Amino acid sequence: MNGLAILLFSALLPIQSYAEPLPEVMFTVGDSISAGFVASTFATSYFKNWPSIFSPFVREKDESNFTLDEPTALENSSGPAAIRQFKSRLRIKLAQLPNHEAYSWSSGSKINSQYQMLNAYYQNTHHENQVLSRNVSFSSSRADGLDLQANRILRKWRSGKFSSIAYMTVFIGADDACNEHYQGGTPDALMAQSIKDFFKKISVIEQATPIQVLVVGMPNIPSLAAPGIGDYEVAPGMTCRDLQLNLAHFCDELLDWTDQAGYLVRVESVRRRNQAIRDAVEAASAAMPKKFDVHFTDALFQKKLDIDDLAMDCFHPNSQAQERIAKVLWDEQPWFKSARKAPSSEFGSGVPAIVANELK
What's the CATH code of the domain at 214? 3.40.50.1110
Give me the number of domains the chain comprises: 1
Instruction: Check residue 346 and give its pLDDT.
Output: 60
Burial of 282 (0-12, 13-18, 19+ CB in 10 A): middle
In a domain, 346, yes or no: yes
| Element spanning 292, H or E | strand 292-297
Is 120 within the bounds of a domain? yes
User: Cα–Cα distances in Å, from 265 out to 63, 147, 153, 222, 253?
Assistant: 38, 31, 37, 9, 11
pTM score, two decimals? 0.81
Determine how many CB atoms are found less than 10 A away from the CB of residue 49: 11
pLDDT at residue 234, as a whole number: 83
Contact 94, 142 (CB under 8 A): no
Residue 349 within a domain: yes
Whole domain around residue 172: which residue ranges?
22-37+101-358
Judged against a pLDDT cut of 60, whether residue 203 lies above it is answered with yes
pLDDT value for 192: 95
Running DSSP on this structure, what letter comes out for residue 255?
Answer: H
Residue 46 has pLDDT above 90, yes or no: no
Assess if residue 268 is contained within a domain: yes
In a domain, 327, yes or no: yes
In this structure, are residues 108 and 322 in contact, taking their beta carbons and an 8 Å threshold?
yes
DSSP 144: G
pLDDT of residue 131: 94
User: Stretch 178-198: mean pLDDT, rounded?
Assistant: 93
At 87-122, the pLDDT tens digits run: 666 665 666 666 788 999 999 999 999 999 999 999
Residue 15 lies in a domain: no
- What letter does residue 199 receive in the DSSP assignment? H
Structural domain contains residue 59: no
* Lowest model confidence (mean pLDDT) among 36-40, 106-110, 151-155, 266-270: 36-40
